[in-house]
Structures are given as structure tokens and as C-alpha cells.
Structure 1
Amino acid sequence: MSTQRKEVFDQECQRPDGCQNIDLLIETRQKDLGGFRVRRVLPTIKRRMVGPWIFFDHMGPAEFPAGEGINVRPHPHINLATVTYLFEGEILHRDSVGSYQTIRPGDVNLMVAGKGITHSERERPEVTEKAHRLHGLQLWLALPEADEEVEPAFYHYPDAEIPRVDVDGVPVRVIMGSAYGKTSPVKVYADTLYVEAHLKAGQSIVVPDAEERAVYVAEGEVAVKDATIHEYSMAVFTNEKGIELTAKRDSRIAFVGGENLGHRYIEWNFVSTRRERIEQAKADWKAQNFPKVVGDDDEFIPLPE
């Protein structure tokens, strides 16, 4: 949501006592974006990526009075894909490939920046004319090196298309990749894991397998053996098989992970294997050489100096 994304945050990161299944615990830091709170999870100094995931923001929950709301002007991306997933509220997405799409809770918006895309995130007048809430996750995927310069594209998957499965009484949604016998239709470019689960206090679930994986606790509190993962925290797991996670209270969690894609540079809204590619993107945006957002081209966010 924020375009102030060049920071690699120095969140509190630690190796927990009492659990050899957790490699790192990341405590989020809250950033105020002018009436709207964002909890930045990735990247951190100690952990920049988990699988292909290089950016993880928990936005809100935010309460907006009538007349206010999200209003992010057009801004660019390269060599990555963005994933937007809402718990509450809605966002109006427009971009330079001509997309005009409202995303609502349970839907998945996948925007592939590739060689370059521009987009805006706003809210419809019908939403902002009333008091409303917004709450959800925004994530970035690094693209494999061979796919970094693909043609930009946009994919929208309605709530009903995302697979659901009951895992020993725990309702699960397989948002991206494969887990628990289900495979999501959401397009991936590398081995990618994104799963949501809702656990009642006392319920347990086994962490799905992936080369790298982590869990984020969006609501509640969970434990792995003697280590507690608090609300708004991420635990990065070791490669141990069959790790079991138990809810200490009612919890909403997100598993993310996938294959290790190697080092990426990240600055502002740009991610790439090549630093010179980011410098070119900065110059192109400053010169306004990126494509314009269709139907929303009267303003833009300047390149931060």
C-alpha cells in the first residue's frame, strides 16, 4: 500500500529458546502512513526473503470516516509480482495494462510487473462516502531471473475460485501453490506457497512443506513446542519435516514460502537481480517513460530523492 518501500527495516529478530524448529522470529514494526497503519514484516536486515517472497505488509485494520480512505497515486514496479489479499474492505486497482478491478475480501489480485508496470490503489466513491474499514495483506514476489522482464500482466481470482480444505477441523485456503492435497489456480513463476488457516484455541496444524517457509500471525497467538509466536509476528522455520503449530487462542495465520531464488536488490518500488536495472527504472520513472495508468494518468508519485 505504501510506496515508501525502499527501507529494509531493522525489526526485532531473534532465535527463540526452546524450539529448534524455528530459525528466526521477526517482530513487526508499525509505520504510520498518515491515518493508516502498516506493519512491515519483510524485508529485514536479518532476513530479506522467505522463498520468493521479498516484501510483506500487514495493512490495518484501519477505520476511515466518511470522505476518507486509501488514495495511492500511480507508481511503478519492475521485476516482481504483487499479491493483494483483503480480510475486510475493498480496494480499486487500476494499471497501465488497462485493468480496472475492485478487490474484496477473499479475492486474490496478482499484478505481474515484469519489464515495467504502473498502477494506482484507490477506493470507489460508493465506499468513501461512508465510514468503513480496511484490513489485509500486501506481498511482493520476486520473479525468477529468466522471468524478470516478462510482459506486464494482471490476474484477478474471485474468492470462490480459491480452494478450501478442512485439515483436522481447521479451515484452510490454499491461496498460492499446493498444500494439504489442494492446488491453487493462482499463477506462479516459481515454487510458491501461500496458505491461510483459522485455528480455534487448542487446534493444531502441520506446517506445509517448502524449501523455505514461515508463518505470520495476523490475529491471535500460536506455539511451536515451547516457543510462542505472538500476534503480528513471523516465525521462519527450519527445514525440519512435520513441524506442528498449536493455537494458544483463536488465530488467523498465513503460511508463506517456496523456493530460494537467490539475492535480490530492492529500492523503493523496484526489485531486481541487477542493481543497474533498478537505476534504469529510477531514471525512467523520473523521466516519466513508464506506461501510464489507463483512466488515472493525471497525477503520480515522484521518485523519492
Structure 2
Amino acid sequence: MAASSPDGALDVAIVPRTRDLGDGFEVRRALPSVQRRMVGPFVFLDAMGPTVFAPGRGLDVRPHPHIGLATVTYLTSGEIVHRDSVGSVQAIRPGDVNWMTAGRGIVHSERTGDALRAAGSRLAGLQCWVALPRRDEEAEPGFVHVPANDLPVVEGEGATARIVAGEFFGRRSPVPTLSPLFYVDVQLAPGARLDVPAAYAEQALYLVEGRLDLGRDGVFEPGQLLVLKPGATLTLSAAGDTPVRLMLLGGEPMDGPRYLSWNFVASSAERIAQAAEDWRQQRFPKVPGETEFIPMPDLPGKPVHYP
């Protein structure tokens, strides 16, 4: 963790911990962390890969449940086939958005498609969880796919910003979010600069590729989550002669604390416990065409409380 500059915009720099999800597929988990549990409604951020799958190999995340959150999957390379218990079957490719609202309960799987599995492939991207407002925690589950070409883009002077979800830079994504938030894919050519306004109470950026110059706060390498001070504005600059890619994210604070345990997010520990028991007893809906599932793990202690 890097210390913040007293005159800069940066509050904390988080270096994610690496986790192996099996078969050599690694993710870097930036949220939650000891330094910061949430940024706006974002309670979870995994950076996936880049992972190269040999022919005959691929991603196989078996069916598993969620409650009280929305997942957003965004790839920079490769493809994932999503299947869920409301009947969705959707391949996601770079620049597209898969937005799945769990509400009272949904089950989904994520796998490499047959053609890519046979040929071999490369996979990289990010997956985030967004906590739902209390009024929507028990909403009907649903799934929306938005192709890359349907997302608004702001560009100029070597900078491009695609509004993945929410509203930023005066443009709004068609993704149906339920709370004030933003999620933006920013690409900077060498030497390009981009001013970021203090549009929301809680803002951060995850550096995907390239070296980023934040002026008084310093120069940063890829794979870090940089959380900004409340009300801070900053200028993003590509350092050196290589392009930069990053994700801006955040929003307004949640309407109260949240608990998180395994794949569940809720405003009460009791609701988490009920969801865990429902999964143990296989009372969640099934994913059509899928027979495998991830068993409920033994989780020591109580769900993590998010202030």
C-alpha cells in the first residue's frame, strides 16, 4: 500500500493479492481489501489473466449462486460463454458488457466456448460486483447483454473513454443500473492526457496496462487500484512511449452497511445465512443444461461487515 500525497488526489494505492481459481487461472483481487472494502457500490473487483489456454483447455466456472448484487463482466481479450438460471446463454467478447442482477437469487456458469476451447485462446478482463440498494436486494433476477457498439464513447486528443455502466463525462450507458455509479474504460495514446472530474463522492481507477503519470501522486505500474480522495480531481497522463488502459469506477455511498460472504452480499447477516443454507439444500433455481455445481464451502466466522 502506498501512502497518499498531502497535496495530491490519491488516498490509497492498493496492490491486489493473487488467487488461483484452479487449472492455473489466476485473478488479482483488488476489492475487497484491508485498505478499502467498497468504492461507491463496488464491493468486489477481480482482474482476470491474461491467461493463455492451450488447445483443449479453457475456463470452467461451474454453476454457483449470488444474491443482493449485480455482476458486471468486461473483457479486454478472449471470450466467455455465460449461462444462468433465468435461461440466458450469451457469449461475451471484448468491449461488450454482461450485467447480471442477482436480486433474491440467481445461479450462473462461465465457460470457454467449444470453438475457442478446441483452438486454444487468451483471456483477460475484469469482473466486478455492485451491491444493490436495499429496496432492490430481493428483486427479480435478470440478465442484460450490451454489445460494445451500443456503448457511448467520448474521445479526443489521444484519449478514448467508453462508458461501460452508469454516467460519466456527460454520457450515460444503456446498461440498466439501480444506483448512482460509473464504470468507464479509458485508453490513452502515448503523451495523451485526460482530466477526471470529481463527479461522485467515491472514485477510483484500476490500471490495466501501461505506466500512468498522476503528477504529484507519482507514476504507477499496471495492476493497482488507486482510490481517490473525496472531491479530488486529477489529470491522467500516459507516462513514456506506451499506451495506457485503465478502468474508472465508483459512485455514491451505499444506503447502509453490507455483509459479504462467499458469493453473497446483503444488508443483514441473517439473509446471508439463509442463502448459504438454500445453496447447501440446492433450493436455488438450476441453470438449464448444466448438471455440475460448486458446493457450498465451509466458511469460518461471520460474514464480513462493510461499513
TM bucket (normalised to shorter chain) is over 0.9
Q: 1:202 aligns with which of 176, 191, 197?
A: 191
**Which residue identity is paired with 2:220?**
I
Deviation at 1:247, TM superposition (A): 1.7
Contact 1:26 1:234 in 2 (8 A): yes
Question: In structure 2, which of residues 239, 244, 268 is the aligned counterpart of residue 274 of structure 1?
Answer: 268
Q: State the AA in 1 paired with 2:208.
A: A
Does structure 2 conserve the Cα–Cα contact (< 8 Å) formed by 1:167 and 1:180? no
- Structure 2 match to 1:5: none
Aligned pair 1:80/2:69, yes or no? yes
1:257 aligns with 2:250: yes
Q: Match for residue 117 of structure 2?
A: 128
The unaligned stretches of length 5 or more in structure 1 are: 1-12
Post-superposition offset of 1:123: 1.6
Equivalent residue for 1:219, pick from 209, 212, 220 = 209
CA distance in 2, matches of 1:162, 1:295: 31
Q: What is the identity percentage for the equivalent residue pairs of Structure 1 and Structure 2?
A: 47
Query: Cα distance, 1:164 vs. partner?
Result: 1.1
User: For the residues of structure 2 that align with 1:241 and 1:125, how far apart are their CA atoms?
Assistant: 46
Report deviation, 1:14. 3.4
* 2:9 corresponding residue in structure 1: 21
From 82, 104, 107, give the equivalent of 1:115.
104
Which shows bigger deviation, 20-29 or 96-105?
20-29
**Is residue 49 of structure 2 the alignment partner of residue 56 of structure 1?**
no
- For 2:135 and 2:3, locate their aligned partners in 1 and report how far apart those are by CA, in whole Å: 34
Question: What amino acid maps onto 1:223 in structure 2?
Answer: D
Deviation string 1:151-201 (CA, Å, 9 cap, x unpaired) is 000000011111111144301101111222211111110001101111123
Using the TM superposition, give the Cα deviation of residue 229 of structure 1 relative to its aligned residue in structure 2, in angstroms. Answer: 2.6
What secondary structure, in the 3-state scheme, does the structure 1 residue paired with 2:274 have?
Answer: helix
SS in structure 2 at match of 1:226: helix
Query: 1: distance between equivalents of 2:4 and 2:222?
Result: 16
In the TM superposition, what whole-angstrom CA distance separates every residue of 1:76-96 from its partner, at most 9, and x where no partner exists? 000000000111111010000
Q: CA deviation at 1:46?
A: 1.9
Aligned to 1:285: 279
Partner of 1:31: 19
Structure 2 unaligned regions, length at least 5? 299-307
Task: Write the distance in 2 (CA, Å) between the matches of 1:19 and 1:60.
Answer: 34
In the aligned structure 1, how far is the partner of 2:31 from the partner of 2:156?
A: 28
**Structure 1 letter corresponding to 2:151:** I
Taking the aligned partners of 1:124 and 1:242, their CA distance within structure 2 comes to 42
Give me the CA root mean square deviation. Answer: 1.3
TM-score normalised by structure 2 residue count = 0.92
The DSSP-based 3-state class of the residue aligned with 2:239 is strand
Aligned match for 1:180, one of 166, 169, 172: 169
1:70 maps to which residue?
59
Normalising by structure 1, what TM-score? 0.93
Alignment of 1:140-159 (within 5 A): 140-159=129-148
> Does the CA-based 8 Å contact 2:41-2:250 persist in structure 1?
yes
